Structure 1
């Protein structure tokens, strides 16, 4: 087990697709109502506040005293003493998580602010240095014999409730290095992956694109890919390709370095595959992920290929270009959805499922837990960061009033509600494995979509709504599995040697045609569009969690629609469990089993049914 991470929130829920969360060039000119900003004072009043200074010093002292009291003694502790030890460790986790949450959230409000970057970097250095004293904990715990381990957790006065945490930690036993090497890796992290991550973030945030006489940032340019005007979409796509091409050597260097760094660590740990570390952290069996991947790739012809042929027909095109993939339908009535309407839409949809769900989401709007506006230097995309269990989550959006932005709000609020419910487990047990981390977010989207669909009677608008949902599901399932395959190919190829930009481009294109189908042509330059997707940099092999979550929610929603008795209570129990139970145990009350290949087909069939409905509208 590692102590809190310096930026634990970044991959929690970022852009699920490179075009999913755009930022408009004329955002300031659109009247969206008063958009909320974060109030971070629940963490700390200010960067120079005495409270923050006090907590940094307290963390350093707590790490030192913890090491003095327990290093070399874990195996000798009885149940009661072990419980005390674990709870002290948990309090350090809370303290460090609070400090770095504050620093990280301030940074992501403006990643181009050198002062904020320095503030975060300096804190990260201090906390990494302090927590090096704690590296012994997981290493020594994993050396406790199986008999002694069972005895400690069987003690009625012991730490039995924390056993799931340590069972997951002990899964790393075969891959554990010496104490000295583990300390080195911990210390080196601030100049290893974390440094390359920051370089990626700051480079991406600083890119500018020339489009028809305007100088735009990356999100404003991506927004053009959803414009009603096809010429504008093409101009945006070509501007993206030009700038990505100009910077491709840097992005290739970042990916080469991170993939090699991971390969070296995996070799020392004797990890059987590059993906194994992710599977272990997700507490999911490799064969379950493989069953998901195989089910989705087998469904490409029934899902994305079929849908995009329909879309080409709607747009009056023989072939789609990349700038048509997320284009609105010609019949779709463009309008901006003001913030008050978006808020009411999502809260009403949540309340329609359960008033409790809406009550859990309400404080995000009322107490400065959402930062919604588009600002210079702000991190692109969206995420929900749980901070620590003694405070509350924060949600970041780049809200522009488009229907997809409303769905993003529903998605991130789902994460926030999940994080609030799981917080009752305490810091060590609250963190949900990625396999279940997308459950509440995707379910929140589904509730919002179904609520909107139920009150949409106009056939044209109904078609646009269903088509938008199908595209979101394809982006979440098909596209993310294609991303996963790209990563698998990239890491395998990097093991054979340095990759040129052209090598990486070819790997990217090898999954694009397969996943998107024969309805597409690919413009020169699209081969570089892997360059700015953050998951590949921040969280290798993360992306399959989105497909896992969508398939899981589709199956859950089918059980809900079928009237499964006590569904709401079972659903809240699932979310409240956090990381305290395995996905197999949590899904059993719903009659679901993710290890069954038929499970994934059930989820994919929901997407097929929506495409069936769209096809029926054509007849």
Structure 2
């Protein structure tokens, strides 16, 4: 079963809100046909699926070259069935994180899935990958219908040089839920969710503290929040270091055993991106991107000085809101829906219609509530989805999040026609609709802003987001590189990880005093970035996506005629086209080494110029 969740680059960081408690909930039981996660029909379906998997193995193991089309169709059938049950359970339990019984049920079902998959299905991808080219060509000639599965076949066969023996791959799959780094990472995540931090006389969770730090207009309050955060994370550093050592050590061992040449090669293979393309992206961000980053925070420092009396810029002020203008700081759910629909309608009636369908069919779980997973995501849930999980509290960022996740949902709805094995877009294109939709809605709101002060506040907020998803994420990647390189020589201490973190901050934001006057209370912030543990070297994908979509938006601004049709065609292709083929109609090629610098200049640079000009006109920037 494929991963069904697309994470958002900058997740909503707010706690449960009473004002949205009555907002719409998703209707999972209606769409999946189960009455609860304890439904006996789930177990009955898994029994039937297990039997089908046994039949698939008996019919095709060692015989893939005799009837490949029949084998793929049989595999497709069990994949669809597994996706239904496990998607429902996963989604339902994400609103019940404080329900131990429900979480135990979920763990039990996923363990059963791993056992079924490991014992009965491991052979499938290995034999397809190992099949001789001559045999594959014969099968393609004998069964022309196989051509529609070409992208899936190519994807599986790319892994062939790095596969281990069938026995080893089976053992790794079966043991995954019970042993190895996964259990340590699970422990890390559970302990992280339990952390509490001092906020005056209260103890609050991290989401509440981060939200307070970001939203507070008072610099002293922000600094107190940062100190409380760093102090609380100090007590957590040994758990985080244990988990990260385990992850980096396992990654090193697997890279060695499988024969990957570079630290990121394993991730790049899964993303279907050549190593050299990722290297070009990271190089461009570390040079051009970092220059814009320093330029932006210098501008923000001046604006905060002139509007809020900020004397010194510290890390606690990095995401501080620019509180100028007259725009409402709060939106109802109904207002958010109207805003997103209007923005989508302006660009694509088709996308607007798909968004309205998600709302009408109750595919969005809206309110922020205790016991619900934080942040936001959109689950593809092939055959029954898509579904969005939000934590809506009425902020402007929440409206942007709705636009973002709805883009993912529309993307899935357009690509379902490619089938379960090929509907999911490659990571390089997975954020296309979401970030594009977010940008369309942002530009629509920007045009409607009542004053220049409102426009400047919105521009600064947007640049905050882009810096966080481009420069900050590539900085995370650089920290991972330092940790993983060091781990290859032995276990790293928490102090060594802290040293790597602080050096990365200097590399990407400048030395203390260059822009930020102080990096006080930042030494332990590396401990709460869960991506380091869950998906090593994943974070560059956010920068990749943001810059690709920024370039696409630039094409749209210059040549709007016919753009909608080309974009809908790209989205409908799902995983059938690689990033170069999909972007060719737009005249874009991320494999070109100069693409990334040009993209940063066009995307981030253009917004920076708008913000700098407005700030100067309003007399809010330092000379």
- Shorter chain as denominator, the TM-score bin is over 0.9
2:580 counterpart of 1:576: no
Q: Deviations over 1:31-89 (max 9, x none)?
A: 358422222212232122233122111111111110010111112x1xxx321210110
Distance 2:538 2:256 in 1: 20
Contact 1:435 1:545 in 2 (8 A): yes
With 241-250 and 299-308 compared, the bigger mean Cα shift is at 299-308
Distance 1:93 1:587 in 2: 29
2:460 counterpart of 1:467: yes
Instruction: Name the counterpart of 1:612.
Output: 609
Distance 1:216 1:477 in 2: 30
Residue number among 397, 407, 411 corresponding to 2:404 in the alignment: 411
For 2:55, what is the secondary structure of its paired residue?
Answer: helix
Contact 1:33 1:340 in 2 (8 A): no
TM-align CA RMSD:
1.7
For 2:198, what is the secondary structure of its paired residue?
Answer: strand
Report the Cα offset of residue 255 of structure 1. 0.8
For 1:531, what is the secondary structure of its paired residue?
Answer: helix
Report the Cα offset of residue 443 of structure 1. 0.5
Q: Equivalences for 1:83-98 in 2 at 5 Å?
A: 83-98=69-84
Residue number among 348, 354, 357 corresponding to 1:360 in the alignment: 354
2:73 counterpart of 1:73: no
Unaligned regions of 5+ residues in structure 1, if any?
none
Instruction: Name the counterpart of 1:372.
Output: 366
2:579 counterpart of 1:586: no
Unaligned regions of 5+ residues in structure 2, if any?
618-623
Instruction: Name the counterpart of 1:121.
Output: 107
Report the Cα offset of residue 302 of structure 1. 3.3
Instruction: Name the counterpart of 1:214.
Output: 202
Distance 1:301 1:195 in 2: 36
Q: Equivalences for 1:30-69 in 2 at 5 Å?
A: 31-32=19-20, 34-41=22-29, 42-43=31-32, 44-69=34-59
For 2:559, what is the secondary structure of its paired residue?
Answer: coil
Distance 1:520 1:330 in 2: 20
Q: Deviations over 1:543-599 (max 9, x none)?
A: 111111111111111111112542111101111111111111101111111111232
Change (3 A) 1:506 1:154: farther
Q: Equivalences for 1:476-495 in 2 at 5 Å?
A: 476-495=469-488
Contact 1:432 1:579 in 2 (8 A): yes
Distance 1:57 1:301 in 2: 54
Distance 2:51 2:233 in 1: 46
Report the Cα offset of residue 612 of structure 1. 1.3
Q: Deviations over 1:239-292 (max 9, x none)?
A: 211211111111111111111112222221111123111111111111111111
Report the Cα offset of residue 525 of structure 1. 3.3
**What stretches of structure 1 move > 3 A for 4+ residues in a row?**
31-34, 154-158, 521-525
Contact 1:319 1:519 in 2 (8 A): no
Distance 2:427 2:229 in 1: 31
Instruction: Name the counterpart of 2:621.
Output: none
Change (3 A) 1:474 1:322: same
Contact 1:550 1:603 in 2 (8 A): no
Instruction: Name the counterpart of 1:342.
Output: 336
Report the Cα offset of residue 313 of structure 1. 0.8
Q: Deviations over 1:449-489 (max 9, x none)?
A: 11011111401001001111111111111111111111122
Instruction: Name the counterpart of 2:249.
Output: 260
Contact 1:263 1:495 in 2 (8 A): yes
For 1:264, what is the secondary structure of its paired residue?
Answer: helix
Instruction: Name the counterpart of 2:549.
Output: 553
Q: Deviations over 1:345-399 (max 9, x none)?
A: 11110111011101111132222211222222322211111112x1111111222
Q: Deviations over 1:380-433 (max 9, x none)?
A: 211111112x11111112222111111111111111111111111110001211
Q: Deviations over 1:501-551 (max 9, x none)?
A: 111111112221222233114444312112122221211111111111111
2:153 counterpart of 1:157: no
For 1:273, what is the secondary structure of its paired residue?
Answer: coil
2:401 counterpart of 1:424: no
Instruction: Name the counterpart of 2:92.
Output: 106
Contact 2:343 2:440 in 1 (8 A): yes
2:196 counterpart of 1:203: no
Instruction: Name the counterpart of 1:142.
Output: 129
For 1:284, what is the secondary structure of its paired residue?
Answer: coil
Q: Count matched residues.
A: 602
Contact 1:152 1:158 in 2 (8 A): no
Residue number among 282, 285, 295 corresponding to 1:306 in the alignment: 295
Distance 1:108 1:529 in 2: 25
Contact 2:415 2:572 in 1 (8 A): yes
Report the Cα offset of residue 156 of structure 1. 4.5
Normalised TM-score (structure 1): 0.94
Instruction: Name the counterpart of 1:82.
Output: 68
2:596 counterpart of 1:595: no
Contact 1:206 1:377 in 2 (8 A): no
Contact 1:319 1:521 in 2 (8 A): yes
